[in-house]
Amino acid sequence: MTLRVIAIDGPAASGKSSTGALVAERLGWAHLDSGALYRAMTLAALDNLGDEGGGKGEGWNPQRIVALAQELPITLALVGREFVPTVAGVDVEEAVRSERVTTRVSAVAALPEVRAWVNAEQQRVVRQHPAGVVVDGRDIGTVVFPDAPLKVFLTATPEERARRRLTQRGQAPDAERVRRESQALAARDDADRERPVAPLKPAADAVLLDTTHVSLEEQVARVVALARARFRG
Ligand code: CDP
């Protein structure tokens, strides 16, 4: 049976999650933002393990983070079409977007033990949702679902991504803010690209989509058209 998964990968703020959510809505599928799970792991580590990683998270013991995820527990709950992360039964969709989580998440996501746990969680959820799931992240097409019939890799220039992220936060995208935000995005992209485990890169069979000059509506329409061609019936 065909695996009903669409993998959407790409760098920070490239529009994966908004595209994924809208594509899922059009197709009547569910949407899973794998970054939210890495963020939930990071939030749980910050709240329960303190700053023992020298404030950056690098020193956190991976086994303790995974044990926390099992004990608290960290899970995914389906709300409408959206899989949202919960920690100890509390919806943390908003809390995981905080700056303190964002600055540490790449260090946590570089830990192989954490990745193994997050991957197993994603595969479990997809097995339980045969209608189809749009999954977005960094390694969905390369590692988590290498058999996904449709893989899309979204890119856009760092400046355009910075502008989008600022607008999303309700901040005016003036030149100085764009400069600072694109530097922060680039630092996270470098960390994600250069890590030894599951680095950020397009799968060999991914469709590359540069969205710098493409509207959200148009990029959603393109992915939906590709999906209709690949998943007939
Ligand atoms: O929303 P944004 O693009 O800024 O980031 P995200 O998708 O929420 O992902 C946050 C972080 O989680 C990334 O910077 C990666 O370090 C990590 N991540 C990953 O390693 N693998 C994934 N499949 C998804 C996220």
In a domain? residue 232: no
pLDDT of residue 54: 47
Please tell me the total count of domains within the chain. 1
Provide the pLDDT confidence category of residue 37 given band limits of 50, 70 and 90: very high
In a domain? residue 59: yes
In a domain? residue 102: yes
**Worst-scoring range by mean pLDDT, 17-21, 46-50, 222-226?**
46-50
pLDDT of residue 175: 96
pLDDT surpassing 50 at residue 35: yes
For ligand 1, pick from 105, 108, 144 the residue to mutate: most ligand atoms within 8 Å of CB. Answer: 105
In a domain? residue 163: yes
Burial of 15 (0-12, 13-18, 19+ CB in 10 A): buried
Whole-number mean pLDDT of the chain? 94
**Span 43-48, average pLDDT:** 94
41/134 Cα distance (integer angstroms): 21
Query: For residues 1 and 129, is the Cβ–Cβ distance under 8 A?
Result: no
Residue owning the nearest CA to atom 5 of ligand 1: 12
pLDDT of residue 233: 57
In a domain? residue 127: yes
Q: Is the CB–ligand 1 distance for residue 141 below 6 Å?
A: no
102/157 Cα distance (integer angstroms): 20
Q: What is the pLDDT of residues 200-210, one digit of tens each?
A: 999 999 999 99
pLDDT surpassing 60 at residue 53: no
For ligand 1, pick from 125, 135, 182, 192 the residue to mutate: most ligand atoms within 8 Å of CB. Answer: 192
For tokens 């061609």, what's the residue? 229
Query: For residues 132 and 187, is the Cβ–Cβ distance under 8 A?
Result: no
Q: What is the pLDDT of residues 71-101, one digit of tens each?
A: 999 999 999 999 999 999 999 999 999 999 9
pLDDT of residue 59: 66
In a domain? residue 215: yes
Residue 216 sits in a domain of what CATH number?
3.40.50.300
Three-state SS for the chain is: CCCCEEEEECCCCCCHHHHHHHHHHHHCCEEEEHHHHHHHHHHHHHHHHCCCCCCCCCCCCHHHHHHHHHHCCEEEEEECCEEEEEECCEECCCHHHCHHHHCCHHHHHCCHHHHHHHHHHHHHHHHCCCCCEEEEECCHHHHHCCCCCEEEEEECCHHHHHHHHHHHCCCCCCHHHHHHHHHHHHHHHHHHHHCCCCCCCCCCCCEEEECCCCCHHHHHHHHHHHHHHHCCC
Domain, as residue range, for 101: 5-227
Q: Is the CB–ligand 1 distance for residue 185 below 6 Å?
A: no
pLDDT surpassing 70 at residue 52: no
In a domain? residue 233: no
pLDDT surpassing 60 at residue 24: yes
Q: What is the pLDDT of residues 123-176, one digit of tens each?
A: 999 999 999 999 999 999 999 999 999 999 999 999 999 999 999 889 999 999
In a domain? residue 181: yes
